[in-house]
Amino acid sequence: MARIAEIEARLGVVHAAGPQPASPRIGGFAQALDAAQRPSAASSSGTGRGSAAFDAIIRDAAQATGVSADLLHAVVRAESDYDPACRSHAGAMGLMQLMPGTARSLGVGDPWDPAQNVLGGARYLREQLDRFGDVGLALAAYNAGPGAVGRYGGVPPYAETQHYVKRVQQYLQERVSAR
C-alpha cells in the first residue's frame, strides 16, 4: 500500500468524490482510462447509444455518396459509438474519426460538426470502395490506410485492423438483421 501511495503522490492523484481533472504529467492517460471504463462500441447493444440522433445526417451522407446508410452507421458505431466529441490518441476526430489531414483533403472545414464529419467520412469510404471494390478491403483502408491494403494485397496483418473489419461487418449485419 505504501508503494501505491508513493505512485499516487508522484502522479498527483487526488481522492475526492466526482471526476477530477487529469494531471498534466499523465497527459491523456486519464482520458484513455476513463474512455476504457465507459461502455464501448464493442459492448453496447443494438445499433449504438446515440444512433437515432444522427439518422438524418447519415441518411443525407449516404444519399450524397452512394454509400449504404447501414454501412455508415456501422462505421460510426465502431469509430466513435456515436460520440461527436470523440478524439483518438492519434488525433482522429468526431463521429467518423477523421484525421486532420484527411479531413482537410476531403474539404471538411469543421471535423467536430457531425454533418461535415459524416459527409467527409462517407466520401473517404466511397473512395476506398471505388478503389478496392470490396467492402472488407475498403474498411481495412479506412482503418489502416489504402497504402497498407495495397502493400499487403488485402487486409493488412495488423490485429487492430483485422478486428476493426470484423467488428464493422458485425455491426452492419446486426443493423440489416434488425429490420
What b/e readout covers 86-110, taking b as 16+ CB neighbours within 10 angstroms? bbeeeebbbbbbbbeebbeebebee
| Residue 154 grid cell | 488485402
Amino acid type, 72: L
Q: Which residues, in sequence order, are bridge partners of residue 98?
A: 93
Tell me the C-alpha to C-alpha distance, in Å, between residue 122 and each of 114, 144, 160: 12, 16, 21
C-alpha triplet 29, 87, 24: angle, nearest 5° = 35
Question: Residue 8 catalytic?
Answer: no
Longest dimension (CA), the chain: 60
Amino acid type, 126: R
Catalytic residue among 79, 127, 160, 174: 79
What is the set of active-site residues? 79
